[in-house]
Structure 1
């Protein structure tokens, strides 16, 4: 099953409640399957957006759309407080949140200013996931690890249904993390060839460790979309350079720009690589245009998907 969603975190944070309801209503009416919000604490000089706050705003502004949080900087928070937030979000919108987590790393000052040693971030994330999974059961948890100590810790009510966790990243550590803690894997800045190879690696590790094979495979894609390819490129370049403080040319190979048909065509190799869930961080002249063009990309993928 192919699903296509739209990243809305900047629109969520810059619009009124009525505008948010209109935006998400249009996303749903256009036939898109989900929306996505992002997360950073203090990125490249202080920019950021709290993923769970944005997810809550999206979930409570529409009664139907699922929300993917992709990806949440879990290693920069304490897993018990995150478990409480997730339990509360689940009460507000049960079964509609997918939690994506990743190790991050583009800006070393971000973890440092959260009291986290960047060199231990991967181990901290693994331990956080272990604790978060345990707390999600609603049972009392005793835990003594490298980073966290819990004694008779419990978070109630337990999320029902359980909140799926998907792992971002394509390193060997991310592959192991997906098998041990994840329900799926989310590719970010990833070529179609790398996507297929990572899926194969996940299957190999799952077999080696005797664990179930994760069933959810998705792609988070920065792109510019417009009726004019040159304008689409300018739009996405300006937005990415403003956030990442790097020239667009550093991302261009994995962040396409063009018409909806061109972006859809660019995504076809990912279908062949086993991707079923697409999220577009689509930069357009307006959010209304972004919704329209993303829906066109979905139609293109459905029409051209391998039989």
Structure 2
């Protein structure tokens, strides 16, 4: 069993390089960083209607933060959990991911999702009604850019003629699909190399694993949030358990990592 950490890295919490070094020293294999570009003033409630904490709009850029993490480590996997790709320029993002993968020696895990904050999307010019279809085309286009010189793509939402873009990644970064809706699961079966559900039961793990196997995708990594049912999730077939780490100052963060590592990694 592999163990990772998922968190929001902000300007008022532990630095990403210090966090990454601490994770590697304690035996965690992966770090997943959340992304929000901003939150609109007056529209800061989450999907359940509760107010969102400031970390949602204080997050550091994930690729810059993960570059800092890469310089401080040698084996830690560098994940986005998740990048809101539908709010990003596709070609710029392709270069950012490939650059991070090159500089880190092939350690990127590219976690993506369609997003949920409609006004945040609208501020980027993204139509919430078509974000799923947009994301599907973006993922297909990314794979072409990373693997081909002179890549081109002609879809309904993504359309570009042949381009030169380098660097290429060390290896095509595994794409981890966030979410557990029907559309997210279909995206996982079609495009995913890994799964990042927000929450999941052992039965859902077994069902998804069975569907992946039926589609010839048994190598897909199932990454589940660590909780009280970790033993059952492990038995159901997850590959990595990820602990959510609250955003805290350095000393508090290190104590919490010691507590988690003592309970699970030793």
**Deviation larger for 195-204 or 127-136:** 195-204
2:243 aligned residue: 280
Aligned length: 248
Unaligned residue ranges in structure 1 (runs of 5+): 222-262, 301-307
TM-aligned CA distance change 1:93 to 1:112, over 3 Å: same
Q: Is the CA contact 1:24–1:58 (under 8 Å) kept in the aligned structure 2?
A: yes
How far does the alpha carbon of each residue in 1:106-160 deviate from its partner, in whole angstroms, 9 at most, with x for none?
A: x211111111111101000000001001101032122221112211123212111
Of 23, 47, 50, 2:19 maps to 23
Of 71, 79, 84, 1:68 maps to 79
Mapping for residues 1-307 of structure 1, pairs under 5 Å:
2-10=1-9, 13-14=11-12, 20-43=16-39, 45=44, 47-49=57-59, 50-105=61-116, 107-204=117-214, 206=215, 211-221=216-226, 263=227, 265-283=228-246, 286-299=252-265
- SS of the equivalent of 1:83 reads helix
How far apart are the structure 2 equivalents of 1:51 and 1:34? 14
TM-aligned CA distance change 1:169 to 1:57, over 3 Å: same
Unaligned residue ranges in structure 2 (runs of 5+): 45-55
Q: CA RMSD in A?
A: 2.3
Deviation >6 Å, runs of 4+? none
Tell which has more relative contact order, 1 or 2 (C-alpha 8 A, sep 6+): 2
How far apart are the structure 1 equivalents of 2:148 and 2:13? 36
Q: TM-score, normalised by structure 1?
A: 0.73
How far does the alpha carbon of each residue in 1:229-281 deviate from its partner, in whole angstroms, 9 at most, with x for none?
A: xxxxxxxxxxxxxxxxxxxxxxxxxxxxxxxxxx5x53111112211211111
How far apart are the structure 2 equivalents of 1:91 and 1:154? 17
- SS of the equivalent of 1:25 reads helix
